[in-house]
Structure 1
Amino acid sequence: MSEPIAVVGAGLIGRAWSMVFARAGRSVRLYDAQPEALAGATQAIRQSLQDLQRAGLVDDPEAILARIEIEPDLALAVGEAAYVQECGPENLEVKQEIYTRLEAETAPDTILASSTSGIAASRFTGHLTHPQRCLVAHPVNPPYLVPVVEVVPAPNTSPDAVERTLALMSEVGQVPVLVKRELPGFVLNRLQGALLNEALRLFRDGYVSAEDLDKTVKHGLGLRWSFMGPFETIDLNAPAGVTDYARRYGPLYADVDAQRDGASPWQAETLAALEAERRTALPLEGLAERQAWRDRQLMALGAYSKLQDERDA
């Protein structure tokens, strides 16, 4: 796949995807229906690339930026592309309209992939003449720092489109995960949601403060999960592996699961209390600075991982 990559949507995710593809040497055409979004895209991308350079993750920001072409015309942006990464609003009707236009402007075998966080591709592509080349390629924000991508085919997505997307994601340095069939929230957000639901219950019921809950993940679970997943974790946490772990601790987890009430933990009173604790720890005006700190931490982790990979090679 050597044709240009088209990115539709020049917001935060679209700009990040453009960097992913261009960093890997691919030519990118970045489109947005809003001229003001395109107007600031180049400088925003340049700033992010310079941050990556300072972290030792890219060598030549301007060379990468030169591979990203700002294109205000949708037909010109996607017409020659073999792959389109759609990054439009998380709105079903808007996505249906976008995909109607994308089908009209692309070749029948051009892959149309959505960055949607939770809308199944079948819901916004079923009306198309060629829905078999459509799927979800859901990133984690920002994808140039967090590489996992959930590839989620619709029931009528062709195996060829799936394989080509998996291959492209690997080629550009991402870590593709195949979600074998559609389900709400895909895999990553369902896992994240399970932890958030339990965290909110523990906070709501007065077992732990917001700060101490975050400490538990940051200095406990998160340390292990930064380099191995939950299944490998339990496999390594018992002398004889997974089955041994299940024998030792399975009853405890089953009992804990049975104790959970069916009430949603996302209630206004709980969220107001959580908001109050978080704003005490971090005033609203400090959010942007802390978000930048988060990205620098991810860059440092990425630089460390890159060094370890080079040592292991």
Structure 2
Amino acid sequence: MATQQSEQTTELKGDKIAIIGSGLIGRSWAMLFASGGYLVSLFDTDSRQVKDAMTDIQKQLTMLSERGLGRGTLSADVQFSRITTSTSLLEAVNDAVYIQECVPEKRELKRAVLLDVDAAMTSTAILASSTSAMMPSLLSDHLTNKDRFLVAHPTNPPFYVPVVELVPASWTADHVTTATSEIMAAIGQVPIVFYKEVDGFAVGRIQFAILSVAYDLIKNDVCDVEAIEVAMTEGLGMWYAFFGPFQVEHLNADGFMDVCNKYGEAVYRVQKTFAAPEKMGGPTAEKMCQQLELFCPLDKLQEKRQWRDERLAALSRLIRDLDREEATPSGGN
């Protein structure tokens, strides 16, 4: 599975992409589309926020270029030049072929912003939300162009983690989902298309299930935060960097049916011991925070994010290079 764009020369495109919101997610989206050669208009109501976003984007693009971890073949300077900013929604959305909403995860705020975008967009533009869990029908039922709306949920940070969940509402036109999938693939993202909406989508539901079980282990003093971290980074995470959960089990036995026959009862027995989910917080969360801050104090979060992003980019390049080696005929150049 490719996680970076191919080595084909990245062509400059005349199509304009509008990014609504200049936070961490919006910045990553702007970088992604610029790396794919698109013209990008980055919108925010706060001019200082936009200025800070551009400073951060330039810094990230330069760092990625210097370390050979960038996407596409355009230089960091050219990519940066493809991004303009605006504090006018009408100006940002005008003539955009694709619009990615990235405002904070508050339903009424998103609905209000989407309604404003809906009134300003062309009748042929695609409007997508970056929401991490809200179902598209709950965000778009009031829109005039709701048939051109879907969720395009990235994994944070989008520039460094390529998967994008494309979740249509029941009224989303099929060609809109198809076109969005093609756009995502063209900028090096890996789209997964849903047949129907579900609360939390796939990535979120899986992630939340892991959080629930891990939280319960901490709450009941079975182990500490460090043990959970190691279980993932030195255990499950090693598998999951290359395979999903079903293929992991498929390979760990003589096929998935062998897993079901040999271990199905044991899996079911353990699953029945899982506690009912509870809202995280209180003494358990406080204990977890104290342990987490030993690894990463709150005043070092940005440094740790940069450390994470650099390694995610390096991992993507490693996987890409391994895939390329496998695709090269034996003895080929």
TM-score by structure 2 length? 0.90
Per-residue deviation, residues 178-205 of structure 1 (Å, max 9, x unmatched): 1221111111011001111111111111
Map 1:115-154 to 2 at 5 A.
Answer: 115-154=130-169
Determine if contact 1:23/1:64 at 8 Å carries over to the other structure.
yes
More divergent stretch after superposition (155-164 vs 259-268): 259-268
Cα distance 1:135–1:263, how it changes in 2: closer, same or farther (>3 A)? closer
Determine if contact 2:212/2:277 at 8 Å carries over to the other structure.
no
Residue 249 in structure 1 maps to residue 263 in structure 2: yes
Determine if contact 1:138/1:151 at 8 Å carries over to the other structure.
yes
In structure 2, what is the equivalent of residue 164 of structure 1? 179
AA of the residue aligned to 1:299: A
Residue 190 in structure 1 maps to residue 205 in structure 2: yes
Map 1:1-150 to 2 at 5 A.
Answer: 3-58=15-70, 60-150=75-165
In structure 2, what is the equivalent of residue 266 of structure 1? 280
Determine if contact 2:30/2:42 at 8 Å carries over to the other structure.
yes
In 2, Cα distance between equivalents of 1:74 and 1:284: 34
AA of the residue aligned to 1:34: D
AA of the residue aligned to 1:250: G
In structure 1, what is the equivalent of residue 6 of structure 2? none
**SS of residue in 2 equivalent to 1:62:** helix
Q: Which runs of 5+ in 1 are unaligned?
A: none
Determine if contact 1:31/1:72 at 8 Å carries over to the other structure.
yes
More divergent stretch after superposition (303-312 vs 120-129): 303-312
AA of the residue aligned to 1:217: M
Cα distance 1:121–1:160, how it changes in 2: closer, same or farther (>3 A)? same
In 1, Cα distance between equivalents of 2:117 and 2:302: 34
In 2, Cα distance between equivalents of 1:126 and 1:78: 20
Structure 1 residue ranges (4+ consecutive) displaced by more than 3 angstroms after TM superposition: none
Per-residue deviation, residues 138-177 of structure 1 (Å, max 9, x unmatched): 0011111100000000111110111111111111110001
Q: 2:300 aligns with which of 286, 302, 308?
A: 286
In 2, Cα distance between equivalents of 1:305 and 1:50: 22
TM-score by structure 1 length? 0.95
Q: Which runs of 5+ in 2 are unaligned?
A: 1-12, 328-333
AA of the residue aligned to 1:6: A
In 2, Cα distance between equivalents of 1:196 and 1:28: 36
More divergent stretch after superposition (218-227 vs 39-48): 39-48
Determine if contact 1:200/1:265 at 8 Å carries over to the other structure.
no
In 1, Cα distance between equivalents of 2:301 and 2:83: 29
In structure 2, what is the equivalent of residue 308 of structure 1? 322
In structure 1, what is the equivalent of residue 309 of structure 2? 295
How large is the RMSD of aligned CA atoms in angstroms? 1.6
More divergent stretch after superposition (301-310 vs 113-122): 301-310
**SS of residue in 2 equivalent to 1:89:** coil
In 2, Cα distance between equivalents of 1:287 and 1:43: 18
Aligned residue-pair number: 312
AA of the residue aligned to 1:121: P
Per-residue deviation, residues 250-306 of structure 1 (Å, max 9, x unmatched): 111111111123252624121111112222343332332222211121122122123
Identity of aligned residues (%): 35
Cα deviation, residue 130, structure 1: 1.9
AA of the residue aligned to 1:5: I
Cα deviation, residue 2, structure 1: 5.4
